[in-house]
A and B are shown apart, each in its own frame.
Chain A
Amino acid sequence: LAKTTQPISMDSYEGQEVNITCSHNNIATNDYITWYQQFPSQGPRFIIQGYKTKVTNEVASLFIPADRKSSTLSLPRVSLSDTAVYYCLVVPQGPWGGATNKLIFGTGTLLAVQP
């Protein structure tokens, strides 16, 4: 499984756009990039997933460059309730190379949004 690296923490203010970048230099051809969010004392919650270019949903956008060695989660106009840990994961899309479907979580990025 490709290892991911993301900042340990980020600070922001309400109303700002927040971009969290994740590097995954060893991503495999069949891997997707997936982001989860976790609030204190709650389970992780799926935010967005993509393979390449840009994906947008009602919560966030995900930008993936052509080489796919990094990705950026963009949260528009954050509010206090967006304070959480954000996890970037590389997820195989099939059992190629012995891959399994379990998720491997890193330490994530703690986003602190202030008023």
Chain B
Amino acid sequence: EPEVTQTPSHQVTQMGQEVILRCVPISNHLYFYWYRQILGQKVEFLVSFYNNEISEKSEIFDDQFSVERPDGSNFTLKIRSTKLEDSAMYFCASTGEIWGSPLHFGNGTRLTVT
């Protein structure tokens, strides 16, 4: 069964550094998402992306965050200047249809900001 893959599985960075989290969505999917989950808390929506542009973003997704689909397969989340509170699991997801089709999540990147 095709799956969403994310790299790296764990990233440690120092406060103020830039990080790029990478995702390869399922190949024929058109809608892409990033979610995050702070340890012990809910899974939170960050951003949705379709047709090379952001469809929707949450309040968490401020100017420090950006997303990009640099080629036909990768989907990236960049955090420009990391803060301690950015430490979380970041999940990428994709789906083939905007309505009615379940999201397929990757296994996440654990980001630790020190």
**Given that A105-B42, A105-B43, A106-B42 are known contacts, is A43 also in contact with B102, CB under 8 Å in the complex?**
no
- The A interface, classified by DSSP as helix, strand, loop or mixed, is loop
Q: Which residues of B contact A101 (CB under 8 A)?
A: 31, 48, 98-99
Please give, as numbers and ranges, the residues of chain B lying within 8 Å of A44 by CB-CB distance: 43, 91, 103, 105
Q: Chain B nearest CB: distance from A49 CB in Å?
A: 7
Number of A-B contacts (CB under 8 A): 54
Contact partner of B89 (CB less than 8 A), chosen from A41, A95, A107, is A41
Q: Which of B44, B100, B107 has a CB less than 8 Å from the CB of A42?
A: B107
With the chains together, A100 CA to B56 CA distance in Å? 8
Interface 1/0 per residue, A86-115 and B, CB below 8 Å: 010000111100001111111100000000
The total of chain A residues at the interface (CB under 8 A) is 23
Interface residues of A in 1-34 (CB under 8 A from B): 32, 34
B44 with A102: CB separation less than 8 A: no
**Binary contact readout A49-69 vs B (1 if CB under 8 angstroms, 0 otherwise):** 100000000000000000000
Q: Which of B35, B89, B98, B102 contacts A34 (CB 8 A)?
A: B102
Assess whether B22 is interfacial by the CB under 8 Å rule: no
How many residues on chain B are close to A (CB under 8 Å)?
A: 26
Establish whether residues A92 and B99, one from each chain, have CB atoms under 8 Å apart when the complex forms. yes
Interface centre among B31, B43, B99 (most CB of A within 10 A): B43
- CB A7 to nearest CB in B, in angstroms, measures 16
B83 is an interface residue with CB less than 8 A from chain A: no
25 residue pairs from A and B, CB less than 8 Å apart: A32-B100, A34-B102, A41-B110, A43-B4, A43-B105, A44-B91, A44-B105, A45-B105, A46-B102, A46-B104, A49-B102, A92-B99, A93-B100, A94-B99, A100-B48, A101-B31, A101-B99, A102-B56, A102-B58, A103-B35, A103-B103, A105-B35, A105-B44, A106-B42, A107-B42
Interface residues of A (CB under 8 A from B): 32, 34, 38, 41-46, 49, 87, 92-95, 100-107
